[in-house]
Amino acid sequence: MTTYRPLDTAERLLMGPGPSSIHPRVYRALAAPVVGHLDPQFLEIMEENKTLLQEVFQTGNRLTIPISGTGSAGMETCLVNVIEPGDRVLICINGVFGQRMLDVAQRCGAEVDTVEAPWGEPIPPEKIGEALNEGEYKVVGIVHAETSTGVLQPLAETAGLVRESGALFLVDTVTSLGGVKVAVDEWNIDLCYSGTQKCLSCPPGLAPITLSERAVDVLRQRTNKVQSWYLDLSMLEKYWGEERVYHHTAPISMNYALREALLLIHEEGLESRWQRHLVNHQALVRGVEAMGLEMAVAPEFRLPSLNTVKIPEGVDDPRVRGHLLEAFNLEIGGGLGDFKGKVWRVGLMGHSSTKENIAYLLMALGDAMREQGTDLDVGAGVKAALE
């Protein structure tokens, strides 16, 4: 008979592309007693989560809820509920998650056109405008914070172009919500989704989404059933609304955790939180450059919550990351797609975004590089970061 030891995972400092480190209060919330998914106590938590999500999304949208699933479930929810077979959709791609959005839209039966930019660069609004002038689209999708490249996509100008065209504006904010300004109402975003495990510093498992009344109207006017039963918002909104019609058993403990994570954001203040992420990003960049390393993205388009650092020529990427994990209990991410083997992805998200963590990372990275025979000026890096 096989015997198993009790669960005993090592505590890591999570500074990769997600998940981020979890605040002790969120861990305590996860351990709270489970109640039924229609228990009055849980219904009160559901209402609080909706209100707190409206605050972090900066929206008054009535349909603002956490989907039971990870960020990709949020992406799929937004797409499957407004796309019907044969609809024309425009997807903007400059990394892995734009490509994923394309894949999901095609699986919905959409006729998809794309606007693309090189990895590590934003998509120019004028290119999107040209595409909108050439065709009539039901949905335009774009990634605000491209986790695979560390690019923060400017949205205000594009939002105006999309609204003028009459299309619904769909935005991925998985790595920006709670760490970078996301202004759903101000930017006329119709469908927006995120994930709990990035700047919200909650475990992975829920996908906050919000839909404008324009998007809800499109959902109401569908001629075909939503292709996904589980993600059909026409049913989910009845569970999250006043009717409380049973749909599925919600992940009770994850909703506890989300409430606590959102409450921490509320207490810190949204603008203060955005500023903390920005200042710590600037500290990391100064430290990295003072050590003799380079960033992969131009300064004006860098994503504060996810930083891509170029890997020097001849350095063994997996060996460096393995050394950080084994010697320092520290996780950073490797590159994906076109950036595989070319960059490290360093997350400064939520609870992980502190000056102390930056200093620790720089010292650990210097040690990992020294182990391969490459000396970096760690002292200069740490000094520059802390200043």
Query: Which tokens go with 45?
Result: 């938590």
| Whether domain 270-386 has CATH 3.90.1150.10 | yes
- Does the domain formed by 24-267 have CATH 3.40.50.300? no
Model confidence pLDDT, tens digit, residues 129-146:
999 999 899 999 999 999
Residue 290 near residue 380, CB atoms below 8 Å: yes
pLDDT digit string, tens, across residues 170-179: 999 999 999 9
Q: Report the chain's mean pLDDT, rounded to a whole number.
A: 97
- The predicted pLDDT at position 309 comes to 98
Structure tokens belonging to residue 265: 């954001």
Quick one: pLDDT band at residue 307, thresholds 50, 70, 90? very high
Sort residue 63 into left (φ over 0), alpha (ψ -120 to 50) or beta. Answer: beta
- Distance in angstroms (rounded) separating the CA atoms of residues 164 and 267: 37
Instruction: State residue 258's pLDDT score.
Output: 98
Percentage of residues in the chain with pLDDT exceeding 70? Answer: 100
Say how far apart CA 254 and CA 197 lie, in whole Å. Answer: 11
| Whole-Å CA distances, 176 to 71, 156, 274, 306, 314 | 12, 15, 10, 9, 32
The percentage of residues in the chain with a pLDDT greater than 90, rounded to a whole number, is 98
* pLDDT tens track for 92-122: 999 999 999 999 999 999 999 999 999 999 9
Band the pLDDT of 249: cuts 50, 70, 90. Answer: very high
Q: How far apart are CA 332 and CA 351, in angstroms?
A: 15
- Residue ranges of the domains in the chain? 24-267, 270-386
> What pTM, to 2 d.p., does this model score?
0.97
